Amino acid sequence: MTDSPDNLRELDKRHFWHPFTQMREWTAPDHDPLVIASGEGAILRDLEGREYLDGNSSIWTNIHGHNHPAINRAIRDQLERIAHCSALGSTNEPAILLAARLAGLFPPDSLSRCFFSDDGSTAMECAMKMAIQYWQLKGCPGRCEFFAFSRAYHGDTLGAASLGAISSFHSRFAGLGVKTHHVSTLAELSTLDASATRNIAAVAIEPLVQGAAGIRLWPEGTLRELRAWCDCHGVFLLFDEVMTGFGRTGTMFACEQENVVPDMIALAKGLTGGYLPLAATLVTEEIYETFLGEVEEGRTFFHGHSYSGNALGCAAALASLALFEEENTLPRLAPRIEHLRQLLGNLVRENAYVSECRQAGFIAGIDLVDADGQPFAWTEQRGHRVCLAARRHGLLTRPVQDTVVLMPPLCTTEAQLDSALEAIDRAILEVCTP
Ligand SMILES: *Cc1c(COP(=O)(O)O)cnc(C)c1O
């Protein structure tokens, strides 16, 4: 790093437009942007050398920790050969092996075909366009609409955003993308008759837990019932495991916990261990085969991205998947999931400003309320302020409104969990005590 911290911060404020950020607040004279300079395991270090626990896995991406020697080595080895070549008209070893490896993570002959893209949003776009084209190829062009759930989040590109239903993110662009009907519960779906489902290509859901909605858990059995409903109505089931995939909920994929296999699945965030942008949409052989034909039949899936099957990203993903076996990641995670459960139980019992904690594996949502147990006015930004206060106690994370989210890398130790919960407890008391 050659630039001085002050100069970097000034350049940031002058030129860098940050995502999901009110830039007037960000560029205010009294705001010092946090500049992360390095990381190791679950720890991030800023330019001044201060250390923080990465309490949201760098926006839900990191799996085995930062600067992991095995993933670093895999990327470096690949870099010595080639960083990228096109998947249009050629192919490459890491992408081939990764496609096979991902298919092998699902039951035999289920999700056997892998289409690469760049991030969670594009993985969802691919799935949606595949579903729409599938039904066209089957002679049902009217099946081009979707069902999704209230408070869903499936990404920010226009197609993926049409599936979303979080008003602050989505209402501004509502109606501009793919036609989507939102339902709040399975019961609501079951009341619909054939006329309401005739035009539906697929149902999209975040399995087990809706992340951006504020860590909202589905009732047990939801995925099984939804699978049965989709089979009954001849509609595709599309799982968005962009956040839940790769061990976050305690199993490799959340859908394993209900033994349900979808027709299509979107994977991104943790795919490369949180190192590089890479995504995959996996579908059944039946969907894939529907696109086969002579060139002049026009069945080809005309969709792709410049960096599809990027060799560096695929090498990182292969290394991350290998680590699950080499480091025995999931069996070793189980006791720490229990430890987190105890810590959250203590927090909700002992902190008067915490009304509820929800947990799915290594994902937690902590709801804030005032001394009377009532929600704070959203304009007070209590969740945001609690996260800023937690930073002073060595924890970095972000809220969803007044839900503090804790989703650290899977390598986070029991002692680090203890410190994280202590930081959150103290931060809440500082911010919420009148
Ligand atoms: C983050 C997220 C997305 C979007 O992924 P990006 O990589 O940010 O485009 C989609 N679905 C879910 C469930 C997510 O959490």
Read off the pLDDT of residues 199-214 as tens digits, 9 standing for 90 and up: 999 999 999 999 999 9
Side-chain-facing half-sphere of 232: CA atoms under 13 Å: 12
- The predicted model gives 340-357 an average pLDDT of 98
- What CA–CA distance (Å, rounded) separates 88 from 54? 37
Nearest-10 crossing angle of helices 93-103, 311-326: 40
N-terminal to C-terminal alpha carbon distance within the chain? 43
Cα–Cα distance for residue pair 384/112, rounded to 1 Å: 42
**Backbone angles phi and psi of 216, in degrees to 5:** -100, 125
> How would you class 274 by CB atoms within 10 Å of its CB: exposed for 0-12, middle for 13-18, buried for 19 or more?
buried
Task: Report which ligand 1 atom has the smallest distance to the Cα of 211.
Answer: 15
- In the predicted model, is pLDDT for residue 1 greater than 80? no
Residue 377: DSSP 8-state: P
Pocket of ligand 1 (CB under 6 A): 60, 119-121, 153-155, 206, 211-212, 240, 242-243, 268-269
What average pLDDT does this structure show over 91-108? 98
Q: How far is the CA of 297 from the centre of ligand 1 (A)?
A: 34
CA 61 to ligand 1 center in whole angstroms? 10
Q: 42: which residues sit within 8 A by CB, 6+ positions away? A: 53, 54, 65, 66, 408, 409, 411, 412, 413, 416
How many other C-beta atoms can be found within 10 angstroms of the C-beta atom of residue 25?
11
Atom of ligand 1 nearest to the CA of 206: 13
Mutate to test the pocket of ligand 1, among 118, 153, 218, 267 (most ligand atoms within 8 A of CB): 153
Cα–Cα separations (whole angstroms), residue 26 to 52, 222, 327 = 20, 40, 40
Closest ligand 1 atom to the C-alpha of 210?
13
> Which element (helix H / strand E) includes 146?
strand 145-149
Pocket test for ligand 1, best of 242, 305, 405 (most atoms within 8 A of CB): 242
Buried b (16+ CB within 10 A) or exposed e, 77-91: ebeeeeeeeebeeee
Residue 268: band (very low, low, confident or very high) from pLDDT cuts 50, 70, 90: very high
Q: What is the mean pLDDT of residues 411-422?
A: 98
Q: How far is CA 83 from CA 235, 276, 322, in A?
A: 39, 12, 20
Report whether 233 contacts 200 (CB < 8 A): yes
pTM across the whole model: 0.97
Atom index in ligand 1 nearest the CA of residue 268 equals 7
Rounded to whole angstroms, how far apart are CA atoms 55 and 350? 21
Q: How far is the CA of 213 from the centre of ligand 1 (A)?
A: 12
When pLDDT is cut at 50, 70 and 90, the band that residue 102 belongs to is very high
